[in-house]
Amino acid sequence: MTKVQLEELREVIHPAGKLDSRAEHWAGRLYMRALSLRVTRLMLGTRFSPNQITTVMVFAGVLSGVALALPGLGGAALSVVFMQLYLLLDCVDGEVARWRKQFSPLGVYLDRLGAYLADAAVMVGMGIRASELGLDPYLVAGLAAAIGVLLLKSSSDLVHVARSDSGMEKATDQSVVPRSSGLARVRRLTSAVGLHRLVNGIECTILLLVTAIVDLALGDLTATKIATVAVTAIVWLLVPAHIVSIVASSRLK
């Protein structure tokens, strides 16, 4: 079987506007889409379906959180590796689906499930790591962060459920506009600061790798404990703000 040319493949799997959309993660634009393009070309020569690739992606995301329970720098590094594999497969499954024109509700469901489980697993793993495998406030913080992340994701997805059940079209980037100018300014400021990215598994695993290096130098878990408290605080600052921004925007109008 002749391999498809990269340029021909790119035209189909990276359509115009794909990399510039709000849904595209910065890591995808920076490096992962360039890598996934080549991995996707290899996958097209196999019998793996998009849904099978997505299933492996789900396990990679969960294992990223599990790896954080391993003490020392090795656990943090392994967590980053699994999360990067998760991100790679998250790109590849959709690219294979676009090339083969194999789309299904099951694929969308598995993709969203993977996003929920990966980020929640990282938050729980963060708490376990900071608690040194004991039941203490840091473990509680990790669990609280996981619950908050699930609320953030579900509150966004429930917009589409509400619009669908009301007979409305799916919300677009243009429909996500705060009706209050004050909320719009706050949202722009929040995006500029970028603290909200730390509740994402990709950024959080990188942060925990950095804190693991600091911990190694200090000889304790001070940096990881500070990061755990900080991430949990950011999550629970974002939860009510995110819900208010949805209710006050044009998404449900």
Torsion of CA 55, 111, 129, 198, to 10 degrees: 150
184 pLDDT band, cuts 50/70/90, is low
- pLDDT surpassing 60 at residue 205: yes
d(CA 213, CA 235): 24
Q: Which domains, and CATH codes, for the chain?
A: 6-247 (1.20.120.1760)
**Predicted local confidence at residue 94, as pLDDT:** 93
- Global model pTM greater than 0.95: no
Q: Could you tell me the two tokens for 239?
A: 């939860």
pLDDT digits (tens, 9 = 90+) for 60-85: 999 999 999 998 999 999 999 999 99
Phi, psi of 249 (to 5 degrees): -95, -175
**Predicted local confidence at residue 194, as pLDDT:** 77
**Predicted local confidence at residue 156, as pLDDT:** 84
Average pLDDT over residues 154-172: 79
Q: Could you tell me the two tokens for 39?
A: 């991995």
**Predicted local confidence at residue 174, as pLDDT:** 47
Q: Could you tell me the two tokens for 60?
A: 């990679």
203 pLDDT band, cuts 50/70/90, is very high
- pLDDT surpassing 70 at residue 108: yes
∠ CA 91-93-98, rounded to 5°:
95
Q: Could you tell me the two tokens for 6?
A: 């990269």
